[in-house]
Amino acid sequence: MTASAGPARRIPMIGTSWKMNLLPSTAPAWFGTVTRGIAATSSDPATADREWFVLPPFPALAAAQASLEGSPIRWGGQDVHEDDAGAHTGDVSAPMLADLGCTIAEIGHSERRRDHGETTAMISGKVRAALRWGLTPLLCVGEATQGVPDAAIGLVEGELAGALRGLGPGDLAQVVVAYEPAWAIGEGAQAADLKHVAALHAAIRGWLDARGATAVRVLYGGSVNPRNAADLLTVPGVDGLFVGRAALDPEAFVAIATVTLPQQENGS
Ligand code: PGA
């Protein structure tokens, strides 16, 4: 793996998906706590250079737009259909997301692959749909079962190649990757250990850099919480965090989103 370009500056990105939690009526309280909490640290140089996002369920996206417009927090969908319109009952398209002010579409989460049988071809189509509408595709990759890093690297590189195949450099540069080992996600799970995270992020970084995608950020997801966020963020190659259940508590999300790092070393 050869880094074909010099190190790009990648602004750390911290966000959350609520998955199928909270309600349109309870969402504004969450948005309020988080926007106030983040605004309170805006003069702190440690967090000034950071991006944040939230991916509520579709019915709460209008509330996100109403609450977050003009704030530094981006919002987006947890999924997107490959097509722009048509006979696809229950699905949501990229122009619908864009119309609600979304700037991100999460694609290929392990729960979507598991519950909805999403295939590589579908995931690749979703990435293209997001790009057509100016949405950042947040592409989730990660191995299903716990094992040695080498086995996981092979699987993850296969997922990247399948999802991103055929994209030109301009499109590739718009993507954000979330490395999320499925075994580290959800109730009862624990975050992957830092060595595993370092090995996988180095491999993903190498894969992207070899294709000139030096600006693409690679987030870690899987049982992130306020206690492990700083350690995970200081792993070389970790450009941000993608948080699930811990962030349902807005104060906990603020703690993660504004965490101060001992030494700002990541990103090179
Ligand atoms: P978790 O979910 O933080 O609840 O483990 C992470 C994810 O699925 O992105």
Q: Provide the residue type at 59 as one letter.
A: P
3-state DSSP of 93-112: CHHHHHHCCCCEEEECCHHH
Our answer to whether residue 88 is catalytic in this structure is no
What atom in ligand 1 is closest to the CA of residue 243?
3
* Ligand 1 atom at shortest distance from the alpha carbon of 185: 5
| Dist. CA 87 → ligand 1 center (Å) | 31
Could you give the CA distance from residue 186 to residue 29 in angstroms, rounded to a whole number? 24
Ligand 1 close to Cβ of residue 106 (< 6 A): no
- Pocket lining: 224 vs ligand 1, CB cutoff 6 Å: yes
**Cross-strand partners of 105:** 77, 137
Residue 261: what pLDDT?
81
107 by Cβ neighbours in 10 Å (0-12 / 13-18 / 19+) ranks as: buried
Q: Which of 212, 186, 217 is CA-nearest to residue 201?
A: 217
Q: What is the pLDDT of residue 7?
A: 63
Residues whose CB falls within 8 Å of the CB of residue 30, separated by 6 or more in sequence, listed in order: 22, 250
Is residue 251 flagged as an active site residue?
no
What confidence score (pLDDT) does residue 263 get?
57
Q: Going residue by residue through the chain (268 aa), what tens digit of pLDDT does each one get?
A: 344 445 678 999 999 999 999 999 999 999 999 999 999 988 887 777 899 999 999 999 999 999 999 999 999 999 999 999 999 999 999 999 999 999 999 999 999 999 999 999 999 999 999 999 999 999 999 999 999 999 999 999 999 999 999 999 999 999 999 999 999 999 999 999 999 999 999 999 999 999 999 999 999 999 999 999 999 999 999 999 999 999 999 999 999 999 998 654 444 3
Helices (H), 69-188: 94-99, 110-116, 120-132, 149-164, 169-172
pLDDT on residue 239:
98
pLDDT at 45: 79
User: Whose C-alpha lies nearest to ligand 1, atom 3?
Assistant: 244
- What pLDDT is recorded for position 267? 41
DSSP 144: S
Token representation of residue 204? 């993903």
For the chain, what is the radius of gyration of the CA atoms? Answer: 17
Per-residue model confidence (pLDDT) at position 49:
87
Note the pLDDT of residue 256: 98
Q: Where are the beta strands (DSSP E) in 166-249?
A: 176-179, 218-221, 240-243
Q: Is 29 helix (H, G, I), strand (E, B) or coil?
A: helix
Burial class for 70, CB neighbours closer than 10 Å (0-12, 13-18, 19+) = exposed
Longest Cα–Cα distance of the chain, Å, equals: 52
Helix (H) or strand (E) holding 208: helix 194-210
The 10 Å Cβ neighbour count of residue 258 is 19
* 109 alpha carbon – ligand 1 mean position (Å): 10
Q: Whose CA is nearest to atom 1 of ligand 1?
A: 244
Q: How close is the Cα of 71 to the center of ligand 1, in Å?
A: 24
- Catalytic member of 81, 82, 109, 143: 109
pLDDT at 6: 54
pLDDT the model gives residue 43: 83
Residue 3 has a pLDDT of: 43
